Each structure stands twice: as C-alpha cells, then as structure tokens.
C-alpha cells in the first residue's frame, strides 16, 4: 500500500455500471513527510475522507475487496486513514 493525500473529488456521470454510487477521489501519493512523489490517481473511497487527509490505498484486483464486491471495475481503493507514522531510531533520513 502507498500513502497519499486526498486532493479532490472526481466527477464522472458517464461510467461503467459497476461503478455506480462509488465515490471517486483524486489522490496524490506522498512520502512519510508529506512530500508529493509520483503521478496522482483516481481511487474509490468508502470512508468519505476530505481534502488534505492522509490515507493509504491498495491497487489492482484486490481493490475490489475494499468495496466488499469482487466484480467492480476498479483498480485502486482507499483502505484506511493514517493517523501517524512512528519512525524507528534507524529511520529514514
């Protein structure tokens, strides 16, 4: 799973039928210090997180598990909110 910051919401009315009623967020992956890295992406989010909140998300086939259905056409889903990361003594520079 990767860390990401919620940046916005994706508005899409013409979409594949299995995606009906699934909220889509616009995420920016970040590192442990909140610095952006990599390309932003669209992910399903059933937690209703708001802009600026930190989350972690899963990708590919298992993203459907987060929605409790295996036949949804998604490949990215938020699976939790991050309160904090406890860095160890030998932690990241």
Q: What is the dihedral of CA 58, 93, 35, 39, to 10 degrees?
A: -50
Minimum Å distance from CB 54 to a copy of itself? Answer: 9
Minimum Å distance from CB 33 to a copy of itself? Answer: 10
Binding mask 54-83 for a copy of itself (x = CB under 8 A): --x-xxxxxxxxx----xxxxxxx-xxxxx
The CA distance from 3 to 9, in Å, is 17
Tell me if 34 contacts a copy of itself by CB under 8 A: no
Give the residue from 11, 24, 4, 9 showing the smallest Cα distance to 73. Answer: 24
Torsion 15-16-19-25 (CA) sign: negative
Minimum Å distance from CB 29 to a copy of itself? Answer: 7
- Max alpha carbon distance in the chain (Å)? 50
Residues that bind a copy of itself (CB under 8 A): 1-3, 5-16, 18-19, 24, 26, 28-29, 31-32, 36-43, 47, 50-52, 56, 58-66, 71-77, 79-93
């Amino acid at each position: 799973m990767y860390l990401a910051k919620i940046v916005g919401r994706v508005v899409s009315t013409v979409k594949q039928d299995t995606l009906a009623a699934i909220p889509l967020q616009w995420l920016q992956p970040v590192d442990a210090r909140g610095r952006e890295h990599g390309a932003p992406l669209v992910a399903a989010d059933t937690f209703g997180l708001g802009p600026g909140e930190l989350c972690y998300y899963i990708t590919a086939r298992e993203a459907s598990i987060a929605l409790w259905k295996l036949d949804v056409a998604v490949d990215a889903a938020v699976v939790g909110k991050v309160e904090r990361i406890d860095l160890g003594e030998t932690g990241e520079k």
